[in-house]
Every structure is written in structure tokens, then in C-alpha cells.
Amino acid sequence: MMEVGIFFGVLLAIVGSIAATKHIQSSTWQKVAQKLGLGFEDSTWFGHPKLYGKFRDTDVDVTIEVVGSGKSKQIYTVVEAPLSGLAPYGLKVYQEGMWEKMEKLIGGDDIQVGDPELDKAFIIQGNDAEKISEVLTAPSVKRSLIVGQRRHRTLRIDFPRVRLRQGGRTLSVSKLESYIRTVVDLAVCINEASGARPVEQSKKDALEPSIHHPEPPDSSGPPARFGPPAAGEPEPASSQTGSSEPVGAAEQDDANDWW
């Protein structure tokens, strides 16, 4: 009987530990979703939470990947953001490790983009070496790639996406937020360097009223009239000088609206 009691005690402890970990993970991911404006799908007992939606006007997905089973089971947090169709087809960029260095020595595929820092740090592959060099050496892409790799060594470009695969469930709000920001920043920089419209410019265009569809006139004031005013009738306010509104005030308000 003692053995049975010990067995159930251990089992309850394991179940309790799993439940506590899942609760912490769900709470963490939900906080990140609220902070970044993403959708959140809670985990089931046998499933895992998910984050999805747009951040910086770019699609992003955060999932859990399970590899193996039993004692060899490994859990990863995976963050992915898609690349534009204008990005170099087949582009792959990942950190150069010992195995990759050996492959290079025996003639493995590795494009040299002409930037010593990039050529030394990464294995670069793809179908269009010229376009790949142009995109990766763009200042914003180079900065995002190198800084991102220093923060998170598993960051990689794997066309048609930017991907980060980090070990563990990620129970830290700051870490998960950093993963998402790093992946999305690199995807945005690559897309813009490849010819996609800058995200901020796209937002401006969406907010700016079209010259072909002007806003209707304000109907809240008195009806419009034509011709000079009748005898003894005051001049309309719009034609009087010395208006209390400073010149350019409306333009200044519009400028502030962009920010």
C-alpha cells in the first residue's frame, strides 16, 4: 500500500507541476498578446498556446514545437514572420557553426556578399547572388540581422519566412516580446530592401484622404449664399481680417495627427 501511495503522490506532483507551468505560460503569452496587439489562443491540456496577428503591419505567428517523445522530448518556442514575394527567392541565412565551416572547406554552397562581417558570421544561400548581396548589405538589413543574431543565436532567414526557434516554453514576457520584435524587424527590413513599400509609408497612404474623393463640406454651419450681403448685414466671418485662429493652425494639427 505504501508503494501505491508513493506512486500516486509522485503522479500528482508531476500533474501539478505541468498544470502550473501551463498556467504561467498562458499568462505570459496573454500579456504579450495584449501588449503587442496580437491574438491569443489558450492551450488545452494536450495542446499549447498560440499568438497570431499583425505587428508593425506584418503577420507573425508564435507556436510551440515538440520534437521527439519520452525522455528525448524537446520543446521549442517558434516565432515566424513571412517575407514578401519580392525577397530573393530561396534565400537562407543562418549562423556559421563548426559543421558549416567544415562544409565551406569542402566547397559547400555559401554566397559571399562582399561584406566581411556578414561573410564571416553567416552561411548565405539562394538562387540570385546579386540580389541577395544587394538586400543583405542594405544598412537596415545588416544591422537587424547582426544585432538580432547577437541577441538570439537561433534567428535565421529561411525563405519564405524569418524564423526563430528557441528552446523551452518561454515563460518570460520580456524574452517572448524580444523574440517577436527581433523576427518582425528583420522581416520588415528585408521586405523594404527588396522593394516592398515601407510599412510607415503604407500606413500614411491609408490615412491620407484621396484627392479624387475629397471630404464632403461641413454641413453644420449656416447654408451657403451667393452675392454681396444685403444692406446692413455684417460681412461673413470668413472674409473678415484679424481672425483669432493663427495662419497654418489647421496644417499644424494635421501634421500632429501623423504622430
CA-to-CA distance for 14 and 11, rounded, in angstroms?
A: 5
- Tell me, yes or no, whether 245 lies in a domain: no
- Tell me, yes or no, whether 10 lies in a domain: no
According to DSSP, residue 168 is labeled S
Quote the pLDDT of residue 164. 98
Average pLDDT, the chain: 78
Query: How many beta carbons lie within 10 A of that of residue 195, not counting itself?
Result: 12
What's the total number of domains in the chain? 1
Say if residue 35's pLDDT is above 90: yes
Pair type for strands 92-95 and 156-158: antiparallel
Contact (Cβ atoms closer than 8 angstroms) between residue 103 and residue 196: no
CA-to-CA distance for 193 and 196, rounded, in angstroms?
A: 7
Quote the pLDDT of residue 47. 79
Contact (Cβ atoms closer than 8 angstroms) between residue 79 and residue 62: yes
**Percentage of the chain with pLDDT > 70?**
63
Higher pLDDT, 191 or 5: 191
Q: Which residue in the block uniquely carries the three cell numbers 556578399?
A: 113
Q: Is residue 160 reached through a cis peptide bond, with omega within 30 degrees of 0 on the bond before it?
A: yes
Quote the pLDDT of residue 198. 75
Q: Which residue in the block uniquely carries the three cell numbers 559543421?
A: 99
- Tell me, yes or no, whether 20 lies in a domain: yes
Q: Which of 50-64, 104-118, 123-137 has the lowest average pLDDT? A: 104-118
- Tell me, yes or no, whether 239 lies in a domain: no
Quote the pLDDT of residue 71. 84
- Tell me, yes or no, whether 2 lies in a domain: no
Quote the pLDDT of residue 62. 98
Quote the pLDDT of residue 242. 42
Contact (Cβ atoms closer than 8 angstroms) between residue 96 and residue 122: yes
H-assigned helices in 194-234 = 199-207
Quote the pLDDT of residue 112. 95
Contact (Cβ atoms closer than 8 angstroms) between residue 149 and residue 44: no
- Tell me, yes or no, whether 6 lies in a domain: no
Q: Which of 5-19, 60-74, 231-245 has the lowest average pLDDT? A: 231-245
| pLDDT tens-digit readout, 151-169 | 999 999 999 999 999 999 8
Average pLDDT for residues 9-27, to the nearest whole number? Answer: 67
List CB contacts of 159: < 8 A, sequence separation 6 or more: 83, 87, 88, 89, 90, 91, 92, 126
Pair type for strands 161-167 and 74-82: antiparallel
- Tell me, yes or no, whether 251 lies in a domain: no
pTM for the model stands at: 0.70
Range of the domain at 153: 15-198
| pLDDT tens-digit readout, 121-147 | 999 999 999 999 999 999 999 999 999
Model confidence at 200, in pLDDT bands (50, 70, 90)?
low
Model confidence at 23, in pLDDT bands (50, 70, 90)?
confident
Residue 156 grid cell: 535565421
Cα angle for residues 78, 81, 85 (degrees, 5° grid):
140
CA-to-CA distance for 126 and 135, rounded, in angstroms?
A: 12
Residue 127 grid cell: 538562387
Contact (Cβ atoms closer than 8 angstroms) between residue 155 and residue 148: yes
Chain-centroid distance of CA 259 in Å reads: 20
Nearest to 196 by CA among 84, 67, 56: 84
Q: Which of 82-96, 134-148, 190-204 has the lowest average pLDDT? A: 190-204
- Tell me, yes or no, whether 132 lies in a domain: yes
Say if residue 219's pLDDT is above 50: no
